[in-house]
A and B are shown apart, each in its own frame.
Chain A
Amino acid sequence: MTDDYVPPSRVFGAILLRDVTVARRELPYFLLRTTLQPLLFVIIFGFVLPRMGMIPRGYTATVLPGVLALSLTLSAVQSVSLPMVQDFGFTNEIEDRLLAPAPIKLVAVEKVVSGTLQGTIAAVVVLPLARLIMGPIPGLTFGHLWMLVLVTVLSGAAFAAIGLFLGTAIAPQHIGLMFSVILGPMIMFGCTYYPWAGLKVVPAMKYAVLINPLVYVSEGMRAALTPSMPHMSVPVMLAALLATTVVFLTLGLRAFDKRAMK
């Protein structure tokens, strides 16, 4: 009979492989769900309106990092929270992983890692498409690749952790509210469609939006992709993303444990 010790890393790898297998099959739907909205925005605000002369052409430099931030964070949040709500609320499908011979929290951590991966994939798909649609973008550079990777991974982790918290803390019947009440305002006040520095015209808002973690992702993308444009201080941005990850991972793991163990 199987009685040998199974290292948690092996269990983790197996569960991650399961998520990768399922995600690969769902890839077309996943991409539709997470990249269609940002790309539609790119078409109107990055292509049509500038051509009509209603928006200055340089606006694309502001929009590209914002749209990347949006696809990255939306897909990271959703890829963790939606299955979580479904699993705990209705189908109990996650049970077979909760019975794996490893600490239960490992299953939650795996979800965050898988969410980070999916967020990264969404960003990687949107970046070239957006660039293609918008044409040459003033100030765009890939010279800060390490920064781009760091911001992407950290932002993915932060929003996957937020997804873990939302997915375990929100009652299944209220999942619609997550989009309208939480994600909606988060997107509008997330400095995705305008730079944070530009908010100096409404000083109160400039400081109020700082509680919104999406702000740091948008500004982080600006620091990495269009560093010559105005953007938030890099250490502040990185510290805020790290803090978001730690806080929501802690809250999320606690909420997960509560849902998983009766």
Chain B
Amino acid sequence: MSAAIETRSLRKVYPAPPAKRGRGGPAPSKTPSPVVALDALDLTVDEGELFGMLGPNGAGKTTTIGILTTRVRVSGGEAIVAGANVVSEAAVVRRRIGVVPQRPNPDRGLSVVENLIFHASYFGVARAEATKRANELLERLGIADKRDGKVDALSGGQQQRLMIARALTHDPRIIFLDEPTVGLDPQARLGLWETLRELHAQGRTIVMSTHYMEEADQLCDRLAIIDQGKLLALDTPSRLKAQAPGDTLVEVTFDADVAPVVDAARALDGVSNAEGRGVLLRVFSRRGGQIIPALIDAGEARGLTVRDIHLSRPSLETLFISLTGRKLA
């Protein structure tokens, strides 16, 4: 299988935001520094793959998609998309990709069907062929009844479907979707999953970003876990889950700082790792929930009272926490 996307040491640094100063207030104490959004990212996406990028907000997912879709300047390294370089052959890349933006941005000067016809025409598709494709796509995505209406009349989910239809009008090899299900109601989200599965079944390469673990788990062939501009893990969802440390993540919230308890918790039989974050004690347990009484005792012996207990089975979420010490959303 050949690579649809390949990045080598991809780096993106945004210039420092201009210093903001309140009216008459003192100058800010520290000067803002440039933001490293991507730090030496190496990725390979195979042709026909449904590839996911999972990470919290600000992880660098949108920047990565921005670079791969030629819409964000590269600071270092290189990226090859559909056989062309995103910097030196940007127009060639754009011809071969379809992009579904994070927030729907249909052309409000045009009707629903015109959005598709004109977009296809920007890619050199002749009018008759563009109209035929537009009608087919509207039918397939279930918004054919809105064909001649204004885009403002579409619901959020319908606008998202219009964006997908738009990304398909010029028959691209790779489709990029940036957090496509944010802001969709559960039904629209399931509908979108269905659409993505269909496109995947047709053999198209799909790259999507998400911060919903369940979505990444259910849809993607392979997943890149990204945080703070770095690739932390890259594998199939099932193999990633197998990498999750311990068996179960037990999170115990106490009424005071847990620092005194951490060492005691780590020493318990069946605990693979433990860490404290303020009043939250995170323990990776090989004995599942059986460890809980010992944790409560350890806390009470040091004068702490339990406020809340939460168990998570090994999942992408627990893997993410073990890799970053942070939650996904």
The answer to the question of A92 belonging to the interface, with a C-beta cut-off of 8 Å to chain B, is: yes
The answer to the question of B200 belonging to the interface, with a C-beta cut-off of 8 Å to chain A, is: no
The answer to the question of A236 belonging to the interface, with a C-beta cut-off of 8 Å to chain B, is: no
Residue of B nearest to A1 (CB): B171
Q: By the criterion CB–CB under 8 Å, are B94 and A100 in contact? A: yes
Give Cα A25 to B107, complex, Å: 14
B71-108: contact bitstring with A at CB < 8 Å (1 yes, 0 no)?
A: 11100000000000000001110111001010101111
Q: Could you tell me the distance in whole angstroms from the C-beta of B114 to the nearest C-beta in chain A?
A: 8
Contacts of A1 on B, CB cut-off 8 Å? 96, 171-173
Q: Give chain B's interface residue range (CB within 8 Å of chain A).
A: 35 or more
Give Cα A22 to B111, complex, Å: 10
Q: By the criterion CB–CB under 8 Å, are A97 and B108 in contact? A: no
Contacts of B94 on A, CB cut-off 8 Å? 99-101
Q: By the criterion CB–CB under 8 Å, are A6 and B73 in contact? A: no
Contacts of A103 on B, CB cut-off 8 Å? 90-91
Q: By the criterion CB–CB under 8 Å, are B73 and A2 in contact? A: no
The answer to the question of B158 belonging to the interface, with a C-beta cut-off of 8 Å to chain A, is: no
Give Cα A23 to B94, complex, Å: 27
Segment with Cβ contacts to A, from B116-124, B181-189, B190-198, B265-273: B116-124
Given A4-B124, A101-B123, residue A262 in contact with residue B71 (CB < 8 A):
yes
The answer to the question of B24 belonging to the interface, with a C-beta cut-off of 8 Å to chain A, is: no
The answer to the question of B22 belonging to the interface, with a C-beta cut-off of 8 Å to chain A, is: no
Q: Could you tell me the distance in whole angstroms from the C-beta of A251 to the nearest C-beta in chain B?
A: 20
Segment with Cβ contacts to B, from A7-15, A188-196, A221-229: A7-15
Give Cα A14 to B125, complex, Å: 10
Contact partner of A93 (CB less than 8 A), chosen from B95, B108, B114, B123, is: B108
Residue among B14, B114, B118 having the largest count of chain A Cβ atoms under 10 Å: B118
Q: By the criterion CB–CB under 8 Å, are B66 and A262 in contact? A: yes
Contact partner of A96 (CB less than 8 A), chosen from B69, B91, B119, is: B119
Residue of A nearest to B14 (CB): A262
Contact partner of B73 (CB less than 8 A), chosen from A18, A95, A262, is: A262
Contacts of B161 on A, CB cut-off 8 Å? none
Contact partner of A6 (CB less than 8 A), chosen from B69, B95, B110, B115, is: B95
Give Cα A146 to B224, complex, Å: 63
Give Cα A2 to B107, complex, Å: 23
Given A3-B95, A14-B118, A18-B110, residue A96 in contact with residue B166 (CB < 8 A):
yes
Q: Could you tell me the distance in whole angstroms from the C-beta of A13 to the nearest C-beta in chain B?
A: 9
Contacts of A21 on B, CB cut-off 8 Å? 109-110, 114, 118
Contacts of B71 on A, CB cut-off 8 Å? 95, 98-99, 261-262
Q: By the criterion CB–CB under 8 Å, are A2 and B125 in contact? A: yes
Residues of A within 8 A of B (CB): 1-4, 6-8, 10-11, 14-15, 17-18, 21-22, 25-26, 91-93, 95-104, 261-262
Residues of B within 8 A of A (CB): 14, 66, 69, 71-73, 90-92, 94-96, 99, 101, 103, 105-110, 114-115, 118-119, 121-125, 166, 170-173
What are some 14 contacts across the A-B interface (CB < 8 A)?
A: A14-B122, A18-B109, A18-B121, A96-B105, A96-B166, A97-B122, A98-B71, A100-B123, A101-B91, A101-B92, A104-B90, A261-B71, A261-B72, A261-B73
